[in-house]
Every structure is written in structure tokens, then in C-alpha cells.
Amino acid sequence: MNKRISEQSTMQYSYPKLVMSLLAGTFLLSGCATNGERYDPLEPMNRGIYHFNDAVDKAVLKPVAHGYKAVVPDPVRTSVGNFFSNLDDVIVIANDLLQFKFHQAASDTTRLVFNSTFGVLGLFDVATGWDLPKHDEDFGQTLGYWGIGNGPYLVLPILGPSTLRDTIGRSADSHVDPIWQHNDVPQRNSAAGINLVDTRARLLKVEKVVDDAALDKYIFIREGYLQKRRSLVYDGNPPREKLEDYDDEPVKSEKAIPADKATTP
């Protein structure tokens, strides 16, 4: 009994302690981090992982996503997406509080309660219609909110685009994610798998746009990811970037020649 109470107490306080540890570690790393949108010193490794992910996607994920979309009716897929979006609101609320967005935290908490009850465990998104919109917050954004730079761009196996900051953020978010905190391993893995397939099915339309528009898909995805994350950190209103362009340097005017020293042809 005492052991169970101790485990529960550890779980209760592990996330705040983890957050403080990650914040401290990330601040130490921030000396080598940067907010630059094209900081990709690991590009050779990233491209290798990108090609691996692309091969796995073509061989497994994409065919499964097509099958899922063909077999599962639209209303059911919508409910599946709503269910996982509702679970994600737990992470959103935690990061609302860490960013001192208390009004948004109250809105998102109300949204979670309404969708979990009136929306039947989140299968139906009733909250959006009641003027409680979905927000997107995670610990990677929280670190950016407190001034931590992206660090190098990273491509993670299976998970795809990320940065050093966002990779640390994923680790922190997993400690409050209802899916990954579920104790039943088979159920947890099944839920994670369904969420992955459902997410991949939603990206099928976007994939065609990338294929048509990108000369280099790696760069296209990298730039799109970094720009989106920058926008999210600044809530859709990022500051203007400083362009390092020689054309911006002031033109040095020639020194005027005094009239008394001027020569005429």
C-alpha cells in the first residue's frame, strides 16, 4: 500500500521536476543554439534518416493509410481524430500554464471537460461550436516562449521533422500525454498506432502538394516545418527576420571634393 502511494506521489510531482530539469539543460545548450531558420549542420545525417523514413512510409504507412481511408467511413475517421485531439488538450493545458496563458488555459480546460462529457469522451467536438476553439501548444513552444532557440534541425526516425528544442519538448510532453501514461502496454501501443495511421491518412492530400511543388522535398519539408514552428511560438505573429544581405548595407558615398581644389578639364 505504501509502495503504491509512493508511486502515485512520484507520478504527481515528476512532470514539474522534469520541466525544471529540461529547462535548466536547455538553457545550458542555448549558447550553441540559434533562432536561425536554416541551421542544419547535421544535414547529411538528416537526409539519411529522411530517406529511411520515406522508404518506411512508402512500404508500410502510406498503404495502411490508404486502406484505413478506404475502409473506415468519414464520420468514424472524424470521431477518431476528435478523440485523439481531445487527449492532446491535456498537453495543451499544461503548456498554457507554463506560458502563463491563464485565460487560454481556462478556455482549453472547459473545452476538455465539455468534449469529454457532452462529446462522449471526445468523439464529438461540441466545444468548437460553443466558441471554445482548439489551440496548439506543446513544450517545444514553451521553451521558445521563454527564449530558447531551435538548436540544430533534426529528422527523427519515423517521427520526422524536429529540432533539438522540439525533441526535448516531445520528451517532456510524453509525461503528461494520456496515451503514453496509460499503464496497459498493448492498449497504449494500439492507441499510438491508430493515432499514427489516422494522422498519416490526413496527410495524403498534403503529400500531393509537396510532390508537385518541391524540387527538393527535404528542403521543402525542413523550411515548412521551421516556419510553422516559428509561427506557433509567436502565436501567429512572429517578429520580422533580420536578413543578412549585402544589399542592405548602407552605400558609402564618395568624399566630396572641396570647391577650391576641384579641377576643371
Place of cell 464529438: 124
Between the alpha carbon of residue 258 and those of residues 68, 213, 263, the distances in Å are 82, 58, 10
**Closest alpha carbon to 124 in 75, 82, 72:** 82
Q: Who wins on pLDDT, 121 or 4?
A: 121
Q: Could you read off the pLDDT of 179-238 as tens digits, one per residue?
A: 999 999 999 999 999 999 999 999 988 887 777 777 889 999 999 999 999 999 999 888
Q: Who wins on pLDDT, 214 or 39?
A: 39
pTM score: 0.76
59 has pLDDT over 90: yes
Would you place residue 66 in the very low, low, confident or very high pLDDT band (cuts 50, 70, 90)? very high
* Residue count of the chain: 265
**Closest alpha carbon to 61 in 199, 244, 246, 200:** 200
